[in-house]
Amino acid sequence: MRVFTENFGVHGVRKVWRQINREGFAVARCIVERLMRDLRLQGVIRGKPVRATVSNKAAPCSLNHVNRRDCQKFRVR
């Protein structure tokens, strides 16, 4: 908890684990993961969030570029 708060709460499991080991405490990373999960501590996630495509329902549908007349014969049975 001390290592996490000294670094302004931005370090994740890996950086907290490495800092604890640098200070001379032999601790397994899975222990640090479990303790951080139990205390509901989470590091900051860098980068932009992934955005799915948001379709415009008011826009007209695109034209049929394939020009298929009978879609039934292309269906796999």
Q: Cβ distance 12 to 43 under 8 Å? A: yes
18-51: pLDDT as tens digits: 999 999 999 999 999 999 999 999 988 888 887 7
Residue 9 Ramachandran class (φ > 0 left, ψ -120 to 50 alpha, else beta): left
Report field, pTM of the whole predicted structure over 0.75: no
Is 21 domain-assigned?
yes
Distance CA 53, CA 67 (A): 26
- Average confidence (pLDDT) over 47-70: 74
Q: Is residue 28 part of a domain?
A: yes
**Where does residue 22 rank: exposed (0-12), middle (13-18), buried (19+ CB within 10 A)?**
exposed
Does an H or E element contain 16, and which?
A: helix 13-22
Residue 56 is assigned to a structural domain of this protein: no
Q: Is residue 49 part of a domain?
A: no
Range of the domain at 25: 2-38
- How many structural domains comprise the chain? 1
